Amino acid sequence: MDRERIGMAAREAAAVLGILSTDERNAILRSGAEALVRRSGEILQENAVDYEKALAKGMSEGLLDRLKLTEERIAAMAKGLLDIAALADPIGQVSGMTTRPNGLMIGKRRVPMGVIAIIYEARPNVTSDAFGLCVKSGNAVILRGGSDALCSCRKITEILRDAAEEAGTSKDIVQYVDDTSHDSVRELIQMKKYVDLAIPRGGAGLIQRVVTEATVPVIETGVGNCHVYVDEAADLPMAVRIIVNAKTQRLGVCNACESLLVHEKVAEEAVPMIADALAPYHIEIRADEAARAIVPALMPATEEDWGTEYLDRIISLKIVPDLDTAIRHINRYGTRHSEAIITENYSHANTFLARVDAAAVYVNASTRFTDGGEFGLGAEIGISTQKMHARGPMGLEALTCEKYIILGNGQVRPD
């Protein structure tokens, strides 16, 4: 991997891209969408190579499905780019412009980050998604996908590069690192001189590796050990509906519920209701002794269960004596992703909102709503579980920053 060449090319392209108008950036996205559809045959050919290899290697069915492209899926990628083109442009907004007593006008202008590196796994569609979000927000992007999708991702990038050129800008607004060695990831996330931000998209292993090894700024995404707390003042039928949705609507996602807390005053009634409601979905409930005293058929939970993101047909359940214990439990074992209270009590709802430390804190709704689309951001590059810069679903604005602009007429600082 030629770090200097890739880095300098990205920096140069970012400088050009950063001053294009909204219309010009949207034209690049439309050119990309058109090219993906027009050249879908080439993509399918390369995707077949990846797929055959993965099949021979014994890749699991779920992963194979994510790797596989079809005409329809390519059309969806193209539509994704057109959808991003239709979003409002965050770049150039000036906020808080005020005139200081000495006449200086000071405000903040929203600008691109510069160069963004996206590290992902064997999902070819992330290639065009990341391209769309980065280019719309005025950033050059360096992509590094998983080796199992190399041929697909490389071809998609080639087509997007050609489309950028056809739209009159530099191909290097998007580059693909086709060195599949593990070293190439580390090199990419240590290019302090050239990379302004790295975002890992994938499983917990990939994310932790990027967070640990990076020297460039990273936004940590994804892991969600999300709780639903059934308060003593909960509407129990509502609680059960929300729990079923939060656990079962989609199993393998970071905003799925992994752990239940139930107030002891309603446990006698609530625990059997929850067990009955989850039974048709074949969800195993791992519960503490107090809950098992109510429904003996539940499996026993261990300390490890409280901290586990199952992403599977398993959920943990604990009975708590009060709201304070529930909040402390969540702040101790949660991953600061999405947490919900079910209650009709005004003060309990407010206390939960104030004290739970998470990117998204809910009253009386399913944790499954933590999502860029559901939050109205239009598109999403991931869900941040860190506190710096961006928290929760990250839309276009998370890929930008603000710089101060100061307009003077000769002001100097007095002694």
Provide the residue count of the chain.
Answer: 415
Identify residue 184 by its one-letter amino acid code.
S
> Any contact of residue 280 with a copy of itself (CB under 8 A)?
no
Specify the residue, 81 or 243, whose C-beta has the smaller distance to a copy of itself: 243
Name which position in 63, 106, 299, 314 contacts a copy of itself (CB under 8 A).
Answer: 106
> Any contact of residue 87 with a copy of itself (CB under 8 A)?
no
Name which position in 53, 109, 171, 186 contacts a copy of itself (CB under 8 A).
Answer: 109
Q: Pattern of binders to a copy of itself over 1-40, x per CB under 8 A? A: --------------x--xx---------------------
Contact (Cβ atoms closer than 8 angstroms) between residue 1 and residue 175: no
Residue 136 Cβ vs a copy of itself, minimum distance, rounded to whole Å:
18
> Any contact of residue 113 with a copy of itself (CB under 8 A)?
yes
Contact (Cβ atoms closer than 8 angstroms) between residue 389 and residue 219: yes
Piece in contact with a copy of itself (CB under 8 A), picked from 82-90, 108-116, 294-302, 306-314: 108-116
Kindly state the DSSP code that residue 88 receives in the 8-state scheme.
P
Buried b (16+ CB within 10 A) or exposed e, 230-264: bbbbbeeeebbebbbbbbbeeeebbbbbbbbbbbe
Nearest to 221 by CA among 347, 350, 389: 389
Q: Which residues within the stretch 118-147 sit at the binding site for a copy of itself (CB under 8 A)?
A: none
In whole angstroms, how far apart are CA 10 and each of 67, 201, 245? 27, 20, 43
Name which position in 104, 180, 181, 205 contacts a copy of itself (CB under 8 A).
Answer: 104
Expressed in angstroms, the distance from the first to the final Cα of the chain is 52
Residue 126 Cβ vs a copy of itself, minimum distance, rounded to whole Å:
22
Piece in contact with a copy of itself (CB under 8 A), picked from 158-166, 285-293, 305-313, 401-409: 401-409
How far is CA 91 from its chain centroid?
Answer: 21
> Any contact of residue 362 with a copy of itself (CB under 8 A)?
yes
Residue 246 Cβ vs a copy of itself, minimum distance, rounded to whole Å:
8
Specify the residue, 147 or 331, whose C-beta has the smaller distance to a copy of itself: 331
Name which position in 1, 73, 93, 217 contacts a copy of itself (CB under 8 A).
Answer: 217
Q: Pattern of binders to a copy of itself over 170-209, x per CB under 8 A? A: --------------------------xx------------
| Orientation of helix 150-166 relative to helix 22-38, angle to 10° | 130
Residue 386, judged by CB atoms within 10 A of its CB (0-12, 13-18, 19+), counts as: middle
Name which position in 9, 10, 360, 381 contacts a copy of itself (CB under 8 A).
Answer: 360
Piece in contact with a copy of itself (CB under 8 A), picked from 82-90, 118-126, 160-168, 384-392: 384-392
Q: How far apart are CA 167 and CA 163, in angstroms?
A: 6
C-alpha torsion angle, residues 18, 19, 20, 22 (rounded to 10): 80
C-alpha torsion angle, residues 47, 48, 51, 56 (rounded to 10): -150
- CA angle, 404 then 410 then 413, to 5°: 70
Specify the residue, 125 or 338, whose C-beta has the smaller distance to a copy of itself: 338
Name which position in 5, 38, 182, 387 contacts a copy of itself (CB under 8 A).
Answer: 387
- CA angle, 52 then 55 then 56, to 5°: 85
Nearest to 180 by CA among 157, 201, 208, 149: 149
> Any contact of residue 415 with a copy of itself (CB under 8 A)?
yes
Specify the residue, 70 or 215, whose C-beta has the smaller distance to a copy of itself: 215
Residues that bind a copy of itself (CB under 8 A): 15, 18-19, 98, 100, 104, 106, 109, 111, 113-114, 196-197, 212, 215, 217, 219, 235, 238, 241-242, 244-246, 249, 331, 349, 353-355, 357-366, 368-370, 374-376, 386-389, 391-392, 401-413, 415
